[in-house]
């Protein structure tokens, strides 16, 4: 093991633990905030109905739960067997390979999909155009959409739990060549790279335009201040996701096109990938 690989593994352990602590803390706080926010909107603002937050807190609530699962399970196991070199065997393959990759890709996709829906709902609810505001869904319809998202993504990820296996070197790999190409292109490049970049760039642009429109209104209105705070939060989220997903996509495309298929990625790459 060379010096760079050793340093990257130590960086993975230290930074990973910090990410787990702050990530879980932040998402747990988000769960409480969005739960109370959603309840308060349904109990105290019935006369104003769909005016301010719409169903964004419900989408963000599911997104935060998904983030907690990814951090607590997928990131922790990544630190365990890639940072501490914990061996993957046939005995722990189900926990460290099959279920891990299923949970990683399923809940990560659910998280950004719900975040996209939250940004879209926020844009529709606060739009000046009646036609766009009418496109916003009711709370019951929103629950149905969330359930549909979870079911579709969960079913799509089932082959991950089937095809992932452990190699004789103690690594999680996919033996099926055909599904390996599907996994690399669909999961790694599109679902966790190109598609989020395109969607969040578009929604971020709409949010930015909306924020400029809100600034032109009367700031004394409390509802407008709520709109402004939510729009700023969504704009920051979209920028952060685009900036973090771009190098991930570039790295994956490079290894698929230019690098030798037998070349092993360093732990530095593993840290930013999972």
Distances (CA, A) of 199 to 47, 75, 107, 122, 270: 34, 25, 18, 15, 25
Distances (CA, A) of 166 to 1, 93, 157, 161, 162: 22, 6, 18, 12, 12
Query: What average pLDDT does the structure give for the chain?
Result: 79
Q: What are the pLDDT digits (tens) for 185-242?
A: 888 888 888 898 999 999 888 888 877 776 655 554 555 566 677 778 888 888 888 8
pTM > 0.75: yes or no: yes
pLDDT at 87: 78
Candidates 252, 231, 235, 152; CA nearest to 200 is: 235
Residue 39 — very low, low, confident or very high, per pLDDT cuts 50/70/90? low
Average pLDDT over residues 253-263: 62
Q: How many CB atoms lie within 10 A of CB 46?
A: 8
Assign 166 to helix, strand or coil: strand
Q: How far apart are CA 139 and CA 30, in angstroms?
A: 19
Residue 261 has pLDDT above 80, yes or no: no
Average pLDDT over residues 42-65: 67
**Beta strand segments in 96-183, E:** 164-166, 172-174
Q: What are the pLDDT digits (tens) for 117-141?
A: 988 888 887 777 777 767 777 778 8
Asked whether the beta carbons of 75 and 22 are under 8 A apart, the reply is no
The length of the chain in residues reads 274
- Under CATH, which number does the domain 3-273 receive? 1.20.1070.10
Encoded tokens for 44? 């105290």
Q: What are the pLDDT digits (tens) for 78-121?
A: 888 777 878 788 888 888 889 999 999 999 999 999 999 988 88
Residue 27 has pLDDT above 70, yes or no: yes
pLDDT at 264: 43
Higher-scoring residue by pLDDT: 49, 12? 12
pLDDT at 46: 46
Q: How far apart are CA 28 and CA 14, in angstroms?
A: 21
How would DSSP label each residue in 88-157?
P-TTTHIIIIIHHHHHHHHHHHHHHHHHHHHHHHHHHHT-S-HHHHTTSPPHHHHHHHHHHHHHHHHHHT
Q: What are the pLDDT digits (tens) for 181-192?
A: 898 888 888 888
- The segment with the largest mean pLDDT, out of 48-62, 140-154, 179-193, is 140-154
Q: What are the pLDDT digits (tens) for 156-199?
A: 999 999 999 888 877 888 888 889 889 888 888 888 888 989 99
Encoded tokens for 165? 């296996």
Distances (CA, A) of 129 to 39, 233, 234: 27, 22, 20
Could you tell me how far CA 229 lies from the centroid of its own chain?
A: 21
């Amino acid at each position: 093991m060379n010096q760079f690989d050793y340093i990257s593994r130590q960086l993975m352990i230290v930074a990973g633990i910090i990410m787990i602590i702050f990530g879980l803390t932040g998402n747990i706080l988000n769960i409480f905030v969005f739960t109370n926010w959603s309840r308060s909107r349904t109990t105290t603002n019935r006369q104003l109905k769909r005016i301010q937050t719409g169903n964004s807190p419900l989408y963000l609530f599911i997104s935060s739960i998904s983030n907690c699962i990814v951090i607590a399970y997928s990131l922790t196991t990544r630190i365990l067997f890639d940072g501490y070199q914990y061996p993957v065997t046939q005995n722990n393959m189900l926990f460290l390979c099959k279920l891990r990759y299923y949970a990683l890709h399923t809940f990560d996709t659910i998280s950004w999909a719900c975040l996209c829906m939250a940004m879209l709902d926020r844009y529709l609810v606060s739009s000046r155009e009646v036609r766009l505001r009418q496109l916003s869904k009711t709370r019951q319809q929103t629950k149905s959409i969330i359930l549909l998202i979870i079911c579709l993504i969960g079913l799509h990820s089932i082959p991950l739990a089937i095809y992932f296996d452990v190699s004789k070197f103690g690594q999680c790999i996919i033996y099926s060549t055909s599904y390996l190409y599907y996994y690399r292109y669909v999961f790694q490049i599109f679902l966790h790279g190109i598609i989020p970049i395109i969607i969040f760039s578009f929604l971020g642009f709409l949010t930015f335009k909306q924020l400029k429109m809100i600034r032109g209104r009367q700031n004394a209105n409390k509802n407008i201040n709520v709109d402004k705070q939510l729009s700023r939060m969504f704009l920051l989220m979209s920028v952060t996701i685009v900036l973090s997903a771009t190098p991930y996509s570039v790295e994956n495309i490079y290894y698929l096109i230019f690098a030798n298929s037998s070349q092993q990625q360093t732990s530095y790459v593993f840290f930013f990938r999972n």
